[in-house]
Amino acid sequence: TAVMLLCVPGAVADTVVVVRDTRAYAAPDASSFSVPVSAGTILTLVAQQDGVAAVRSGSITAFMPSGALEEVVEYAGETVYAAEDCAIRSGASNSSKALQRLASGKGVSLLATVADWAYVRSGSVMGFVPISSLTTQPSEENIGAWETEAEEVRTITAYVVQDGAPVYASYSTGSKVLRTLAQNDTVQVSLVKNGWCQVRDGSTVAYMLQAHLSAQPKAITAYVKTDGARAYAKPSLGSYSVEVSCNTQLTVTACDTTWAQVRSGGVTAYMLLADLSETKVEPTKAALQYGDKGEEVKALQSRLKELGYFSGTIGGNYLQLTQAAVAAFQSAAKIDVTGIADSKTVAALLREDAPKYTPSATGGSSAVPATGTAKEMDWWDSGIQQIFARGTVAKITDVETGISWYEIRKGGTNHADVQPLTAADTKAMKKACGGWSWDRRAIFVTINGVNYAASMNCMPHGSGSIQDNDFDGHHCIHFTNSRTHGTNRVCSLHQGAIRKALAAKL
């Protein structure tokens, strides 16, 4: 027996409680050195065999009779009430010493259950009460005195732990339910008594069960939306990161409007909120995009040519001309402009009433000018580098003239290197700028319907030109705190144009 017990330390690792006064032995032998152990002592069960249990307290392992132990089901300290006059006892037995008398309706904190007994705390006293002597509901006669006897606490923010948690008009579950709250909704708590909290929900003072509230928000399960999403060591795109696969399950422990703190196993990291979903992503037919080849691309090019958007050779290669044609069609069909032929785009192309290409009056581009205001996005910390990732098509609206066109980001690290998508887009850009110039211009960059404040120059330079877009090279778009590539400095002129965009309303 001794060999078996010593060979499997940590194999069970359940929490147990001593239910009667007993002794702990240095070896699985009643003649070995021993010390007394009081009923109510909490221990970790390591292993047991033939009526002998190996237990651990801190770093010390000892041996006890298995009959002196009961497995503990732990609770979070929620309030329960004496259903009748009873006593808190030193052990899980009616013959154990009574430590404190409980009057009917008295509230205590439930720490654990052991067989037919509850392990509770009342003030500084901890001990056992028969489960049959407890209830989860406060007595009606005690509710009337609740407010005058309630413990005042510093007003704190509490989080609802479950959907449908009721908000009551008074201190009783029989009172009117004013409304229900969803998980992780917040309320302000100012009074606590017998398992009830006085809360402020907006301008209304009301009451909630303490068991329905927590000082911390409840973790939420989320799933990664796309392959290639990244988890970061810090909430910054410049920090160390690793790639995470689509539908990876994570636990969200905190979030703001851009970043989510996530946990997987024992590892905590940060991800862009836009990369997460509360449900798994259903597999869909792969979209056609830049770099694809084959018969499906040929069919796409043929339909785009039939509608007037594509002027290249139908060769089955999804390159710049095809990407530009898809983007132009998406704009005309009022679909999110991405340059990717997803299922929604293909379905719109195949309709009999699919819109045919007609040059726009705003300089030739089919883009519709943005409206409203624009958000400020820090180039390094806001997530804009992933939102406006390489290969992403964005709508550009010039703040001064209101002229709009499409551009695609092709490169850039300190800022975005971009190119007009088509010759029509180049024409619109040149009209807005009045000619090619290094002057900085305030612009809105619109991606997926969201406007972002930015600045650009209007001078084609460098490499990376798109064939047949009439723009020889690329030009630069800057966001807050982005830097030049040559000098690695923040350009004050670009930052001034960004401030102009932030102040604008189109």
Residue 239 lies in a domain: yes
Instruction: Using alpha carbons, select from 120, 131, 217, 212 the residue that is nearest to residue 173.
Output: 212
Q: CA-CA distance, 337 to 360, in Å (whole number)? A: 16
How far lies 491's CA from each of 378, 399, 400, 459, 476, in Å? 14, 19, 20, 16, 12
Residue 180 lies in a domain: yes
Contact 309, 328 (CB under 8 A): yes
DSSP string, 45-93: EEEEETTEEEEEETTEEEEEEGGGEEE-EE----EEEESSSEEEESSSS
Q: Are residues 100 and 145 in the same domain?
A: no
What is residue 291's predicted lDDT score, i.e. its pLDDT? 86
Which residue, of 190, 214, 238, is where some domain finishes? 214
What is residue 158's predicted lDDT score, i.e. its pLDDT? 84
Q: Are residues 47 and 97 in the same domain?
A: no
Q: Are residues 499 and 388 in the same domain?
A: yes
Phi and psi torsions of 40, nearest 5° = 100, -10
Range of the domain at 110: 73-136
pLDDT at 213 over 80: yes
Residue 493 lies in a domain: yes
Helix, strand or coil, per DSSP, at residue 306: helix
Q: Are residues 397 and 440 in the same domain?
A: yes
Q: Are residues 155 and 173 in the same domain?
A: yes
Q: CA-CA distance, 501 to 479, in Å (whole number)? A: 11
Residues across the chain: 506
What is residue 283's predicted lDDT score, i.e. its pLDDT? 58
Contacts of 18 (CB under 8 A, 6+ apart): 37, 38, 39, 40, 41, 43, 64, 68, 69, 91
What 3 state SS string does 368-420 have?
CCCCCCCECCECCCCCHHHHCCCCCEEEEEECCCCCEEEEEEEECCCCEEEEE
Q: Are residues 12 and 78 in the same domain?
A: no
Q: Give the CATH number for residue 476.
A: 2.30.110
Q: Are residues 46 and 93 in the same domain?
A: no
pLDDT at 389 over 80: yes
Q: Give the CATH number for residue 308.
A: 1.10.101.10
Which residue, of 107, 136, 165, is where some domain finishes? 136
Residue 378 lies in a domain: no
Contacts of 12 (CB under 8 A, 6+ apart): 45, 46, 47, 48
Residue 228 lies in a domain: yes
Domain total in the chain: 6
The whole-angstrom distance between residue 68's C-alpha and the CA centroid of its chain comes to 46
Q: Which two tokens stand for residue 316?
A: 């089955």
Residue 411 lies in a domain: yes
Q: Give the CATH number for residue 9.
A: 2.30.30.40
Q: CA-CA distance, 305 to 349, in Å (whole number)? A: 11
Phi and psi torsions of 26, nearest 5° = -70, -25
Which residue, of 115, 136, 157, is where some domain finishes? 136
Instruction: Using alpha carbons, select from 468, 460, 340, 328 the residue that is nearest to residue 406.
Output: 328
Q: Are residues 147 and 204 in the same domain?
A: yes
What is residue 494's predicted lDDT score, i.e. its pLDDT? 96
Task: Give the model confidence (pLDDT) of 38-73 as tens digits.
Answer: 877 888 888 888 889 999 988 889 999 988 887 777
Q: Are residues 39 and 86 in the same domain?
A: no
How far lies 347's CA from each of 231, 295, 330, 342, 354, in Å? 34, 17, 11, 9, 9
Tokens 């090619």, located at residue: 436
Residue 446: pLDDT band (50, 70, 90) is very high
Mean pLDDT of 355-373: 74
Which secondary structure element, helix H or strand E, spans residue 344, and what is its range? helix 343-350
Q: Are residues 300 and 320 in the same domain?
A: yes
Contact 237, 380 (CB under 8 A): yes
Of the listed ranges 199-213, 356-370, 465-479, the least confidently predicted one is: 356-370
What is residue 362's predicted lDDT score, i.e. its pLDDT? 40
pLDDT at 215 over 70: yes
Task: Give the model confidence (pLDDT) of 159-186 as tens digits.
Answer: 888 888 999 888 778 778 888 988 778 8
Angle at 256 between CA 181 and CA 390, to 5 degrees: 135
Tokens 């808190």, located at residue: 88
Instruction: Using alpha carbons, select from 367, 319, 322, 321 the residue that is nearest to residue 349.
Output: 322
How far lies 399's CA from each of 185, 441, 456, in Å? 39, 8, 11
Mean pLDDT of 182-199: 82
pLDDT at 10 over 80: no
Mean pLDDT of 249-253: 87
Residue 8: pLDDT band (50, 70, 90) is very low
Helix axes 343-350, 320-332, angle to 10 degrees: 70
Q: Are residues 38 and 63 in the same domain?
A: yes
DSSP letter at 247 equals T
Residue 375 lies in a domain: no
pLDDT at 141 over 60: no
Q: Are residues 490 and 390 in the same domain?
A: yes
Residue 429 lies in a domain: yes
Give per-residue burial for 59-74: e unless 16+ CB within 10 Å, then b. eebbbbbbebbbebee
Residue 152: pLDDT band (50, 70, 90) is low
Task: Give the model confidence (pLDDT) of 324-356 as tens digits.
Answer: 789 889 888 888 888 899 988 998 998 889 998
Contacts of 267 (CB under 8 A, 6+ apart): none
